[in-house]
Amino acid sequence: MQRILSATIAALAAAAVLAPNAGVAQSHRWGQGYIPNLPVITQDGKKLRFYDDVIKGKIVVLNFIYTDCPDICGLTTARMSQVEDKLGEAVGRDIFFVSLTVDPEHDTPAKLKEYANAFHIGPGWLFLTGAPDDIELLRQKLGFTDPDPVVDADRSNHIGNVRYGNEALQLWGACPGLATARSIATSISWVDWPKGERGGG
C-alpha cells in the first residue's frame, strides 16, 4: 500500500510539472528553434549564445532581475542563493542558475558582477545582459509575460517568478521566487530525472 501511495505521489508531482496551469509550455517544445540562440554577455564579459551555450542539454533555473530594483529582485536573488546552498555541489555540475537583466541598457557586465558579488554567488550561476530587443524576446519566449518592470510606471508588476527546466528532456515548470528555499529546490528536483530526490531534504 505504501509503495502504491509513493508511486501515486510521484505521478502527481510529474503531472504538476507537465500541466499547463503549472506554467509549463505544452504548445511548444522549448528546444532548438523555439528558444532563440541570441548573443548574451555574462557578468565576466564572456560572450555566449543563449541556446547553445546557456541552456542546451542542461537543467537550468532562470529568472529576470535588474540591479536597481528596490525590492523583489534582491529578495528573489537572496532566496535563490539559499536554494543554491541547498542544492550544494549540484549547482554548476548538474544544475545551472541563470539571471537575465530586464534593464540591459543600464546593467553592464560590471554592474551585474557587482550585483552577483553582493549575494556571494557561486560559479554555477550566470548573470546575463545583451541587446534590449534580444533580452525582451528571450523574456517573452521563456514565458515571463508580466509587463516589463523597467517600463511599468509604478514597477508593481514585477512578480519575481522562477522558471526551471530540463532542456534535454523538455520538462519545464515555474514557481514563485519567494517560495521557501526547500519548496523551490523540491520543484527543481522534479525535472532532475532520474535523480529526482535532490533538494527534498
pLDDT tens-digit profile, the chain (201 residues):
444 334 333 333 433 443 333 444 344 466 677 899 999 999 999 999 999 999 999 999 999 999 999 889 999 999 999 999 999 999 999 999 999 999 999 999 999 999 999 999 989 999 999 999 999 999 999 988 765 555 554 444 566 899 999 999 999 999 999 999 999 999 999 998 666 544 444
DSSP the chain: -HHHHHHHHHHHHHHHHH-GGGT---SS--SBTTB---EEEETTS-EEEIIIIIITTSEEEEEEE-TT-SSHHHHHHHHHHHHHHHHGGGBTTTEEEEEEES-TTT--HHHHHHHHHHTT--TTEEEEE--HHHHHHHHHHTT--SPPTTTSTT-TT---EEEEEETTTTEEEEEETTS-HHHHHHHHHTTSTTT--TT--
Which pTM does this prediction carry? 0.79
Give me the domains of the chain, ranges plus CATH numbers: 2-189 (3.40.30.10)
